[in-house]
Amino acid sequence: MPELPLPSSNRGIAVVSLGVSFVALGLKYAAYATSGSIALYADALETIINVVAAAGGLWALSVAELPADTNHPYGHHKAEYLSAVAEGALVVVTAFIIGDEAVHGWLHPNPPKAPWLGLGLNALATVVNLAWGLIMLRVGQKRRSPALVAGGQHVLSDVWTGVALVVGVTLIPLTGWARLDAILAGLLSINVLRVGWEVMRESVAGLMDEAPEPETMDEIRAIIAANGKGAIEAHDIRTRIVGAVTFLEFHLVVPGTMSVNTAHDICDRIEAALRASMGSTLVHIHVEPDTHAKREGIVFWKGPAEACPAPDALPDTGAHA
């Protein structure tokens, strides 16, 4: 299947997402206006939050793409997490608003009118959201963008909600049970609350520089181990991932008699391998003599430092430790 011609920048993806959100909102509001269903109204209300969230995501991605400057020497990538936290908070507020509508509908049941037309419009909006949500999630994971991943998850949660609503609202005219409309709205509010909490939790973890998954750390250690020939050990490995950028630092122990040029070549080789595997990576390597060896972390050489074999001649990669 050919790839869609998507914008190359995350900001461009956010612009498209905002447009898709407006299309889905128009369809869902039309579904509510033609049917009067509380459940479809709740779905349209959630989509309004999608529009607001898409606008916030556009702002965050615009800021995140700014280059590093004097005031922000490490870049502006955390703006994406701020957007995702705000989106999660908006989703939680929406859940309570929808819950209030569900209670009102339960106390004052009113069967929807012309439900089939409303269902058709809502189903069309669901198909639009499904296609775009999958695209956002795939692109966000590929580009390691928290804002795009959060947006994709939010849109896809809207899809499963839409499917459930289509099935549920179909049963109202078939069963004649008007309060089913309010029950569907209540279930929708619970699902929206769950999604909002997950988005906020993941985003706060990013703001707090939570350690990456064990699989990522294993990959980093394997790369260092495979490219540290000539060194004695690497220890105190610390890393954090901010958006699409990985920040990594560790201590590299080398024989005390090793020249600065040789130690620098080893660092260059490790950095080049890390960037080739992990993309945009800022690496800080603190080189230490063998007297600082801890015999822990990644051990390249277990014998005496003076017997450590010299590394092969390494080309200059242009990187710096």
d(CA 63, CA 1): 33
Measured between alpha carbons, how far is residue 288 from residues 13, 183, 227, 253 in Å?
45, 65, 17, 5
The pLDDT confidence band at residue 4, using thresholds 50, 70 and 90, is low
For 250-304, the pLDDT digits (tens) are 999 999 999 999 999 999 999 999 998 887 788 999 999 999 988 888 998 887 8
For 23-66, the pLDDT digits (tens) are 988 999 998 888 888 888 878 887 887 787 777 777 777 777 77
Q: What is the pLDDT of residue 244?
A: 67
SS3 301: coil
Domains and CATH numbers, the chain: 10-208 (1.20.1510.10), 214-307 (3.30.70.1350)
Asked whether the predicted pLDDT for residue 313 surpasses 50, the reply is no
Percent share of the chain, pLDDT over 90: 19
d(CA 107, CA 318): 71
Beta-bridge partner residues of 245: 242
d(CA 155, CA 87): 12
Q: What is the pLDDT of residue 186?
A: 82
Q: What pTM was estimated for this model as a whole?
A: 0.57
For 174-225, the pLDDT digits (tens) are 777 878 877 887 887 787 788 778 777 777 777 777 778 888 899 999 999 9
The pLDDT confidence band at residue 314, using thresholds 50, 70 and 90, is very low
Helices (H), the chain: 10-35, 38-64, 79-107, 115-143, 146-175, 179-207, 214-227, 260-278
